[in-house]
């Protein structure tokens, strides 16, 4: 059976933690669709197009990964794309409550859509997109958190904003 997974997030910016989940997901599922959410409540550093562009470059070498952007309900988007799984990464117990709620809401909205949670690799459990931006703004090194391409874009964005 073909299992298509949607991996949603704001990816502002994408980090090694996200890439860890995408890479491992690509070995488990027939296809992984990385779905960049726009019109989210968060104020973002990068436009949806910029986030999609970075993710396309980073996941290019993984043959079965597609990058797309979506608006509205994740469940509707996943069904429209023919996906049967929502892929999510869990970093710590603090993530659990939100994931638990989200999985139930999505299954209520689309009963054939199941959520699969992968444990984020231990090297990456402390990373979040906000931490990357904060450390970079304060001139700290972010090389262990994001690939070079993302580091350079974050640093350039901060320079532009200052």
Contacting positions for ligand COA (CB under 6 A) = 8-10, 12, 15, 17-18, 21, 37, 40, 42, 73-74, 89, 91, 102, 105-106, 120, 124, 127-130
133 is catalytic: no
User: Taking a C-beta distance cutoff of 8 angstroms, is the pair 24, 51 a contact?
Assistant: no
User: Taking a C-beta distance cutoff of 8 angstroms, is the pair 6, 77 a contact?
Assistant: yes
Instruction: Count Cβ atoms below 10 Å from residue 54 Cβ, excluding itself.
Output: 23
User: In the β-sheet with 65-70, what is the strand arrangement from edge to edge?
Assistant: 65-70, 31-37, 4-9, 85-90, 114-119
User: Cβ-closest residue to ligand COA?
Assistant: 17
Catalytic-role residue among 51, 129, 133, 153: 129
When the beta carbons of 1 and 122 are compared against ligand COA, the nearer one is: 122
104 is catalytic: no
Catalytic-role residue among 31, 51, 88, 91: 91
CA dist 72 and 156 (Å) reads: 30
Catalytic-role residue among 30, 42, 123, 130: 42
107 is catalytic: no
Catalytic residues: 18, 42, 91, 129
């Amino acid at each position: 059976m073909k299992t298509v997974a949607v991996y949603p997030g704001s990816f502002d910016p994408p980090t090694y933690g996200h890439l860890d989940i995408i890479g491992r997901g690509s070995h488990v599922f027939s296809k992984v669709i990385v779905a960049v959410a726009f019109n989210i409540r968060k104020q973002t550093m990068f436009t949806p197009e910029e986030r999609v562009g970075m993710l396309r470059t980073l996941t290019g070498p993984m043959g079965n990964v597609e990058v797309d952007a979506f608006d509205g309900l994740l469940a509707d988007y996943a069904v429209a794309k023919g996906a049967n799984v929502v892929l999510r990464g869990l970093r710590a117990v603090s993530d659990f409550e939100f994931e638990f709620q989200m999985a139930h809401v999505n299954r209520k909205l689309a009963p054939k859509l199941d959520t699969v949670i992968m444990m984020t690799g231990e090297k990456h459990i402390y990373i979040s997109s906000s931490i990357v931006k904060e450390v970079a703004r304060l001139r700290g090194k972010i090389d262990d958190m994001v690939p070079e391409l993302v580091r350079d874009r974050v640093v350039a964005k901060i320079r532009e904003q200052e």
